[in-house]
Amino acid sequence: MISRLPLDEQLAAFRAVLSRNDALMEVLTRVATLDLPGWYVTAGCLFQTVWNVVTGRPPTNGIRDYDVFYFDGSDLSWEAEDAVIAAGREVFGGLPVEVEIRNEARVHLWYEDKFGVACPPYDCTEAAIDNFAATTCCLGLRLETDGRWRVYAPHGLSDVFGLVVRPNPVLAPRSVYESKTARWREQWPELTVLDWPSSVTTASSGG
User: What pLDDT shows up at residue 200?
Assistant: 55
Over 50: is that where the pLDDT of 105 sits? yes
User: What pLDDT shows up at residue 33?
Assistant: 95
Q: 44 near 63, Cβ under 8 Å? A: yes
User: What pLDDT shows up at residue 1?
Assistant: 75
Of 81-85, 112-116, 142-146, which one has max mean pLDDT? 81-85
CA atoms within 13 A on the CB side of 22: 3
Q: Per residue in 117-173, pLDDT tens?
A: 999 999 999 999 999 999 999 999 999 988 899 999 999 999 999 999 999 999 999
What one-character-per-residue DSSP string does the chain give? -GGGS-HHHHHHHHHHHHTT-HHHHHHHHHHHTT--TT-EEETHHHHHHHHHHHTT--TTTT---EEEEE--TT---HHHHHHHHHHHHHHTTT-SS-EEEEEGGGHHHHHHHHHSS--PPPSSHHHHHHTBSBGGG--EEEE-TTS-EEEE-TT-SHHHHHTEE-B-TTSB-HHHHHHHHHHHHHH-TT-EEPPPPTT--S-B-B-
Q: Containing domain of residue 91, as a range? A: 2-164
User: What pLDDT shows up at residue 202?
Assistant: 41
CATH number for position 79: 3.30.460
Please check whether residue 184 lies inside any domain of the structure.
no
Q: Which of 5-14, 59-68, 85-94, 188-197 has the lowest mean pLDDT?
A: 5-14
Domain count, the chain: 1
Please check whether residue 64 lies inside any domain of the structure.
yes
pLDDT averaged over every residue in the chain: 93
Please check whether residue 43 lies inside any domain of the structure.
yes
Please check whether residue 198 lies inside any domain of the structure.
no
Over 60: is that where the pLDDT of 207 sits? no
Please check whether residue 45 lies inside any domain of the structure.
yes
Please check whether residue 7 lies inside any domain of the structure.
yes
CA dist., res. 121 & res. 105, Å (int)? 7
